[in-house]
Structure 1
Amino acid sequence: MTSQKIRVLVVDDSAVSRQILSAILNADPSIHVAGEAPDGETAIRLARSLRPDVIVMDIVMPGLNGFLTTQQIMETTPVPIIIVSGIEDPDEVGIIFSAMQAGALLSLRKPAGPGHPNHLKEARDLVWNVKMVSEIRVVKRRPTVVSSPPRPFSHHNRGTGRGAPVRVIAIGVSTGGPIVLQEILSHLPAGFPIPILIVQHIAAGFSEGFADWLSQVSGFPVRLATDRASLKPGVALVAPDGFQMGIDSDHGIHLVDAPPENGLRPSVSFLFRSLAQVCSEKTAAVLLTGMGTDGAAELKHLRDLGAVTVVQDQKSALVYGMPGEAVRLNAAGYILTPAEIADLMVDLSQK
């Protein structure tokens, strides 16, 4: 029956796009498109009246764009929101992550129409993610306030790192990651001396814009990684899509056209395994919110080799798949909130 299906509201100013999105979603027997909206104002009204389980929304619309619409919905009638977009211009991608800052859970490339070689894959991705986010409980979001300063790190929560000075910090994250990364990086002081490597699962074409957005909102230098680039103190490098990212024996970035791992490229598992081979005892590895198990086994291997290993705590994680698997494997030397992770990173930088 329809009442047992995942009820979706589709929001897009293009009638053709609404038709394509609705056809993809209605083709799955567990999903029902409960309504369509051509603009943000209508979406806000229908979110209130229909109470959908998930909203699938374009970002560029007349009147209220996807960011402003997300902001108003999450402040009044919170619903899991997926942003779908064809934007690839790095200067414009930032609006997508602003929507995620306002409460949207993830962003996907807008599926191509039937007959396009990417249609089936992108349609499957959309359906899978709608099912995934329908299980996430979201709460009302209030207008952004200035973050409180970081708290001193609590030494009683120390893990099992063996005391070697940390020379690189690697972070793996998926669903819910942009906002957590923003919180962590914004807590780091100017002149933070350790290079940071980030694998964020993200839709193809969005990596450069994501790096630019994260740098702007956190105040911490963030760049898109390039092959053979040197690790620089106080700079975070984001893995580009379409490659696996590791480091070589000279501690430079190594981008590899290798197969996906755990269905992902870039994958956290590849980065963590690379660090285990090159500088395990001088690594701090962090696994944050995300669906699946990417990086969990490799985090355990790093811990066994003497690395500092950190997992986001369940209460603060939007999705506890990746960190939860790491805890199950006893891979976590520390289990911390994002603010506490930042405190630990500062503490490690002072050794």
Structure 2
Amino acid sequence: MIRVLLVDDSATTAAFISALLDEDDKLSVVGRAQDGAQAIRMTTMLQPDVVVMDINMPNMNGYEATMRILAIHPVPIIICSNIWQPGELVRTFEAIEAGAVTAIPKPPGPGHPDFKRLANHFVQTVKAMAEVRVVCRKPWQQMKKTYQQAPFSLGEMKVVPQLLAMGASTGGPPAIKAILERLNKKFPLPIVIVQHIAIGFVEGMASWLEKNISLPVKIAEHEERLQPGHVYLAPADVQMGVAKGKIIIDKTAFPEKGLRPAISFLFRSVAEEYGMYAIGVLLTGMGKDGAAELQALQKKGALTIAQDEASSVVNGMPGEAVKLQAASFVLPPVEISRLLNKVTQRPAP
């Protein structure tokens, strides 16, 4: 049985979510806190398997509570947010950076036409995130251990990279930010990113990144020409690829292994279009999305990088890439930035 602690100042919302979760025979709501301060006390007392946390609350908000809880009790924290409030979305990503494992929108009421699907997604997300092993981690700046998995010499690179493609899932936003904020201000490559995230949150992620990094960030648009030093995030519920120096948004392409956007779709497109002129980076996340396609990029001669296990919230996707020997380098985010700066500063061969 998965023990859930709900944190929400609205009694009505908490009762609705509690009833929704209790319908699943693998979930049990063991308590409800009305603000962040109470959540800290109840987490220590009840020792839940997962915490579902509102972001805007009196006395102490979800961001502050997330930081304080994780300092004393490693537990998966899910931020449950109102996606129609832009300010709340930005604070949601601040909480994810503080250690929350993911964010999901508050489920709609039974009168909503898509209620059953959205409610089921909410419940399944809580169950999946409860399995995430949260540990006290060293700051990424202190993670110096790196290793090279496959034979690859930067001195042997015969081409100048033209595109950086990145993919991430659970724990991805902070890793992406840690990489992007350390890239050179005149980073010469377009950057295309697929981040698995609930519908309604990609706009908040773009705003949050734009506040924290020097590179321009936007939601990608169909047939938009790729610009050096610009960051393009895949829109929700579509597949994103590249062709002829432009973004391709495919609204008709099916999900791949249940995922849309899928990292596999992007990486496969990049391998076909750019080959050895690409750099592929696979970051923290559940499952195997993008691992085989990272290997395809590597076989085309591209530089491939996977996030290391120590810095990953979930080592599923990068771990699978390591098993396939698909990554030329296995590094924490700070070291990935350094490598990317080094590679893109090299003179043309």
State TM-score, norm by structure 1. 0.90
Deviates more, 1:45-54 or 1:127-136: 127-136
Q: CA contact under 8 A between 1:149 and 1:187: conserved in structure 2?
A: no
> What is the match of residue 63 of structure 2?
67
Secondary structure of the corresponding residue to residue 37 of structure 2: helix
The alpha carbon displacement at 1:150 in A equals 11
Q: What pairs up with 1:126-137 in 2 under 5 angstroms?
A: 126-137=122-133
Q: Which amino acid aligns with 1:256?
A: D
> Which residue of the other structure, out of 25, 29, 34, is the alignment partner of 1:29?
25
Secondary structure of the corresponding residue to residue 295 of structure 2: helix
Q: 2:307, 2:141 → 1: CA distance?
A: 19
Q: What pairs up with 1:298-309 in 2 under 5 angstroms?
A: 298-309=293-304
Q: 2:149, 2:279 → 1: CA distance?
A: 18
> What is the match of residue 159 of structure 1?
152
Q: 2:16, 2:316 → 1: CA distance?
A: 31
5+ unaligned residues in a row in structure 1: which ranges? none
In the alignment, is residue 216 of structure 1 matched against residue 211 of structure 2? Answer: yes
> What is the match of residue 294 of structure 1?
289
> What is the match of residue 344 of structure 1?
339
> Which residue of the other structure, out of 4, 8, 29, is the alignment partner of 1:8?
4
* Cα 1:11/1:284, change in 2 over 3 Å: same
> Which residue of the other structure, out of 252, 255, 264, is the alignment partner of 1:260?
255
The alpha carbon displacement at 1:184 in A equals 0.8
Secondary structure of the corresponding residue to residue 104 of structure 2: strand
* Cα 1:16/1:326, change in 2 over 3 Å: same
Q: CA contact under 8 A between 1:177 and 1:200: conserved in structure 2?
A: yes
CA deviation vs aligned residue, 1:218-269 (integer Å, no higher than 9, x gap):
33332221222221111211111122111122x1111110221121211111
Q: Which amino acid aligns with 1:79?
A: V
Q: 1:156, 1:267 → 2: CA distance?
A: 25
Secondary structure of the corresponding residue to residue 291 of structure 1: coil
Q: 1:156, 1:244 → 2: CA distance?
A: 30
CA deviation vs aligned residue, 1:42-68 (integer Å, no higher than 9, x gap):
212211211111000111222322112
Q: 2:298, 2:149 → 1: CA distance?
A: 19
Q: 1:30, 1:154 → 2: CA distance?
A: 40
> What is the match of residue 334 of structure 1?
329
* Cα 1:273/1:37, change in 2 over 3 Å: same
Q: Which amino acid aligns with 2:174?
A: I
Q: 1:154, 1:77 → 2: CA distance?
A: 31
Q: CA contact under 8 A between 1:183 and 1:339: conserved in structure 2?
A: yes
In the alignment, is residue 77 of structure 1 matched against residue 73 of structure 2? Answer: yes
5+ unaligned residues in a row in structure 2: which ranges? none
> What is the match of residue 191 of structure 1?
186
Count of matched residue pairs: 343
CA deviation vs aligned residue, 1:256-306 (integer Å, no higher than 9, x gap):
102211212111111111112211111001100001111111111111111
In the alignment, is residue 244 of structure 1 matched against residue 239 of structure 2? Answer: yes
Q: 1:220, 1:53 → 2: CA distance?
A: 38
Indicate the RMSD between aligned Cα atoms, in angstroms: 2.5
Q: 2:314, 2:149 → 1: CA distance?
A: 26
Q: 2:285, 2:218 → 1: CA distance?
A: 22
> Which residue of the other structure, out of 89, 102, 111, is the alignment partner of 2:98?
102
Q: CA contact under 8 A between 1:54 and 1:134: conserved in structure 2?
A: yes
Secondary structure of the corresponding residue to residue 28 of structure 2: strand
Identity of aligned residues (%): 46
Q: CA contact under 8 A between 1:9 and 1:35: conserved in structure 2?
A: yes
* Cα 1:230/1:6, change in 2 over 3 Å: same
